[in-house]
Each structure stands twice: as C-alpha cells, then as structure tokens.
Chains A and B, each alone.
Chain A
C-alpha cells in the first residue's frame, strides 16, 4: 500500500495527493488489481460448485476473466484525454448501433438485444453504452461552470433518456436500469442541488404507477411475483421461492462447499448466472455472503479513493460514476436473488457465468486506472 495523505492547498478545497506507487509505471493501481483478482477467484470457486464441479465452464469463465484483465491493462495505458476527445463520437456510434439492433437485431427469447455480423462477431451494443454514457456526460460537463444551469441538466437528461428508453424497449430492463444509474450518478456528482435530486426521486415514485402500463406482461409478472411469490408459484414466483429456500437453508456457515441440495438438484434455475448468490448462500452461508460483500465494499471504497484523487472534472465524474454503477450491479443482483427487488436480469459482477458484461466491467476499471495513473500534476 502506498502512503496516502491529504494536503491542503492554499486557497483551494480538499485535494488528495500521494506519492507515485509501484503500479504507476504500468498505469495500474495494485490494490485494486488485487481486489479484482480476489473477487474473480472467489467467483470461480462458487461457479465451480454451481456447475456441478465441471472444469470446462470454469475454464471458459477463467479465460474470459483473463481477457478482461488484458483489456483492462491495455485501456489503462491510454491517457484519459483521448477518451474525452472521443466521447461524443463514441456516443453517436453506439446510438447508431442501438438503432441497428432495433432494425437488424437478432431476437432471442422475445427480446432483441444482439447485433450479429455472421462469422465475425456478435455483441450487445447496450453493453458498450454502459461505459459510453458516463463518458459522454463527463465530457459534456468537463468545461462547464458547475453547478450546471438548468438547461444543461435538461439536455443531459435527454442524453440519458434516449439510450435508456431504446434499451428498455428491446426489452432489457436490467441493462437500462444500470445505464440510467450510470448517467444519473454523473448528474449527482456535478452538484445538482439536493432539492432537484429529491424532487426527481419524488416524481419517479409518483409516476411509478404509470410505468406499470408500459411494462411488458412478463415484467409485470416479475414485479407481482416479488410482492407475493405465492401468487404465481408455477411461473414468475418459482425462481424467488427456490432461491430464498436455497439461501435460507444455508444458515450461518452453509451446508459446505459442493454440498448444496437445492442448486444441485436443478431446483434452482439460473444457478450459474443471475442466481449464483443462492448457491453461495446455500453452501457457504451468511459468512460466505458477508465475505463477498466485504470484498465488493473494499473494491468500491478503493475506487472512491481513486476518484477523489482525480485531477480534473472529467476524471472525477467518470471514475465516481463507474464505481457507483458497479455497486448498483451488486445491489440489484443480490436484492433480486434475496427477494427484495424484482427479477430484472442483472448478473453479479465478476462472479456470474457467461460474462458478456465481464469485458465491460474490466474496461471500466481500465478507464479508472488510466485516470488515476496519467497525472498532469505530480507532487
């Protein structure tokens, strides 16, 4: 750990500075890398149990994590100024990709999320938007006087709303929630007044019933299932009943690794992907869940420290938003698996199998480290 200290610069607010650490040479933050490795390793262990102790899925997940780490290292080498310059163009290109999904997209299980260039690549443009939106908003506010005037706030809300609505219509409620959060965090960090924040939250709560009418039938089922899983135990309520049973039966220390009964007898659906926490809860109990939460909290905390040390508006806004968004993943996933949030299909970061989102996550950390290690002022 490098020595952290706080220096009060004359005439300015609190700016945190520090010595150059060992990671700076390779543009990485070593404590963050260690935390990422720890969570990934823990995740692979849970996955190994969830897939019934087969090695193939664990290996493929391991390769994805390695690829993600590689991407993170590469992204960290590029100075943040390049990302800032490219931000508006990336936003435009991603929007065009989203429109293309709407037209040419491949329909899987009733929703249109994938863009497929046969034989070359297939990907979800909404994944890219998870990073591009906060990038764009950080660029937008970088040179402006803060707190921003109302009309700038208005335009940034439009910028948030366009991709969020397009993705919600695919329909992919989970991703659109994540993207909306990543944009709104930037607004929170540029210092829009609390009055504005709370009245927006109030408005959202009031207009929530109206949202009910635009939801697809299966989405309504999921919300109703949350409120009363017994209402529809054969359909939408099934997952929640089964995952609560798995978690609850785990107790304080769990049934032991690889000893879970609910998840291994196929009672628990999606036990390798979105519902993997249920496997953890059943086999390693509250202790295992708590350990994972502590790791997540440490990682987020480290990210928050990095964002406080960022030297310009762009870097601060972007790194703050990336870290808070990361936590939203954790909270939404664990909330839905434990039956306090509706099932919206958000994976548990770095742990859930099938990581289309793994690359996005590591790319985000790459940007964070790039911001942290390319410094204009070195004390």
Chain B
C-alpha cells in the first residue's frame, strides 16, 4: 500500500516538475521573441499573425469548447489563437495560484459528493454492529452469515455505485487524453516540420501513435478491466467465506502495475533517447543549411537568413505557446479526475478506519480492498497524464533550432 502512495506521489511530483520546466520554456519563448523584437518587432508579430491565420487550430478550439466555466477561467482564454498570441507577446503568464484555487475547489466539491457514501456505509456498519449484539447466542451460525451477507451486500452495492461513477470518469478522462493527443500532437509535429525539425518530427510521429492509441488502448481494454476484475474478486473474497480470492485480486493488481510500469518505462526511454539524437541532428542540418546559404550568397545572405528567421521563430514560438497551453489543458482535465479518485480512496479508508472499532472488521476489509483498486486507478491516471506532459515537454524542448 505504501508503495502505491509513493508511486502516486512520485508521478505527481514528476508532473509538477515537468510543468515547471514547461513554464520555464514558455518564459524562454518570450525571451526569443524579445531578442527577435530587438531587430524588428513588427515583422515578428506580423509573421506570427500570418502563421496563425494559416494554421488549422479548429481541433484544439474544439477541446477548449468542452471546458467548464471554472476551467476556462483558469485557462485564461476561450480562444486558442488569443492565448497563443498572449503567451508569445508575454502579456499572459501561467498562474499557479489560480490552478491551486481550482484544485482546492474541486477537493471541496468531491468531499461533499462522497460524504453520503461515508455516512451510508457507517450507518450500515452501525446497524450490523447493533444486530450482531442484539442477536446474542440465540441466533445460529447460519443466521449470522445471512446477516453479514445482507449487510455486506448492502454496503458493497453502495460503494460499487460510487466506484462505477469514478471508474466512468477515469475511462472518460483516458479517452479525452487520446483525443487531445491525436488533436494537438499533429499540430505540434506540423510546426516542428515547418521550423525545420523534420528529423525530430519523424521520430515523434510513431511515439504519438503509441501514446495516443497503444497506451490508451492498453489502459482502457486491459488495465481497467483487470482492475475491475480485481475489485470483483476482492468483493467475492470479502463477502463469501467459501471461496477465497484475495490472492487472485492481488495478482491482477500486481500484473496491471508491472505491465503498465514496463510499458511506461520503455516509452519514456525510447522517446527520451531518440528525441535527443533527432534534435541534435536537426540542429546540425539547419545550421548547415543556413551556413550554406550565407556562404554562397554573401551579399544577400543576411536578407535570406532574416526571412527564414522570422518564419522559423514564428513557428517555434507558436509551437512552444501551443505546447504550454496543451499542458494547462491536460492539467485542467486531469485535476477533477485525480481529486475525485483521491477523495474516493481516502473516504473509503476513513470509512474502514471508523468501521473497525465499531466491530465491522469484515466490512472494513471490503472498504480497504476497494480502496486498493481505486488507488491503482489513480496511479494509472496520474502516470498517463505524466507521460503526456513528458511528451509535450520533450516536443517543446526540442525543435527550438536556429533561434
């Protein structure tokens, strides 16, 4: 159990670290803009405006349209083009304070959402405890089992209802990540190609397919069903004394963790190494091209170079601004799911903790078992978010060539 929390904590810290890196990259992009502005401010702005006019951002706008009013408030803009322009010009800065306020508001709402479950479960445990103490020694062992089965089924039905809602939110979120990757990544790859980082674009294209299709499918069609199965076995094992399935559910959870952990590790290793080499190759090829241009045309080389600089700088600035906006988007989409899972898991643990002294040892065991599955789901969701943010940070970090 402690390990799971450590994994979630590591994933969360890594996500925050990646986000910090991205915010710093966002600041870098403004530095580039300022340095370019030093030479000819109007031309760079015009170049960015022209490029944005020709770039198809309808898909990204469609994702923004799905945000709630609270999420839009944190995002800052209802229009992606305005946000990109504001980030590039330095007029808008990502505000951590509003993100934290938004997360705290979500936590409050989630606590109220799961409060009826806590009260309901405690009422069932209390009723079970009272019935158990009242029946005394007159009731047979069979009746005791029937009473436990009835109360256990009632408590499980209540918790499973909430669990299904949380699970549906997690599945919806993973599907939305898939949509975001398949919408935003092609635009980023287009901008990288336009900026001359065609080798990096070639390397990242298969990674997008793996991340946007393979990984999400593994989670939706293998990991989540395995976790549901683990939950079912946990419930069977807790309610039924005839068949013990605790170890089977442990196997499912463990297999899920190992499988996803290995897949995530391989993905991060491949994208990290190939991304770095491709980025270096792009940098060298672009510098070689510019050197060739200035060498063969010494008189007007500067004119050519400047023309390219505006196009390339514009593309890179848009890529970085879009990338940082994508990070904010995914954080805004992940926050409600992660807080919901966290509050649900903690509520179950709290219910188990309060139930134990009330005499509901076995019911407390059911709650603990269900909380194990929900914490693994939280770990999967956090890891998938981390992978996407990592991918975005690598894409933003590479391809800043020729600036």
A, B assembled together: no
Task: Show the binding face of A for B, using Cβ within 8 Å.
Answer: none
